[in-house]
Amino acid sequence: MSGTTSRRVLVLNGPNLGRLGSREPEVYGATSYAGLLQECTRLGKELGFEAEVRETNDEGEMIRWLHEAADGSLPVVINPGAFTHYSYALRDAAAQRTAPLIEVHISNPYAREEFRHHSVIAAVASGTVAGFGIGSYRLALRALAEELNG
């Protein structure tokens, strides 16, 4: 990003992502949530973003954050967690986006249980990055920078 102004970006994480590092490390890796926060903040600064990383187990709170993003034209990187597969309310909130929104997943949902193969968010997202561990967030933030800088 040019100049000294830093653009605010929301990095939103859904259910159980606050347990990274201890939750099924064979699927989600050994990086803790604090490590994820640190990596997103570091890379965000490198790309000219102020990456604001949040996590919630509450669907209503996630919807309010998406409304905040839409109202403020804030770009979003979102890992909806289990909400990915069934939350039409979250999908409807994401559809109101006024800036790029990138869906991200640590694991590859298509290599897992059948119920994880469908995302209600994907159709309203700018794009999806999945299967690269914590690197999925790095790829999503870089894609977001490219999308914004055209």
Q: What is the DSSP letter of 103?
A: E
In sequence order, the β-bridge partners of residue 54 are 12
Q: Which residues contact 144 (CB under 8 A, 6 or more apart)?
A: 9, 47, 49, 75, 77, 100, 102
Q: Tell me, yes or no, if 33 is annotated catalytic.
A: no
CB atoms within 10 A of CB 3: 6
- Angle value at C-alpha 83, between 136 and 9, nearest 5 degrees: 50
Q: Taking a C-beta distance cutoff of 8 angstroms, is the pair 122, 49 a contact?
A: no
Supply the pLDDT for residue 28: 53
* Tokens read off for 13: 């994480």
- How high is the mean pLDDT in each 10-residue block of the chain (150 residues)? 66 83 58 87 95 96 98 97 93 97 90 79 96 94 91
In the chain, where does DSSP find H-type helix?
25-28, 33-47, 59-72, 88-94, 135-149
pLDDT of residue 1: 41
Known catalytic residue: 118?
Answer: no
**Cα-based distances in Å from 25 to 40, 51, 60, 107, 111:** 19, 25, 28, 11, 16
- In the DSSP assignment, the letter for residue 133 is T
Which residues make up each annotated binding site for substrate? 79, 85, 92, 106-107, 116
Q: What is the pLDDT of residue 6?
A: 67
Task: Return the pLDDT at 95.
Answer: 98
Q: Which domains does the chain have, with CATH numbers?
A: 7-149 (3.40.50.9100)
> Which residue in 105, 117, 118, 137 is the catalytic one?
105
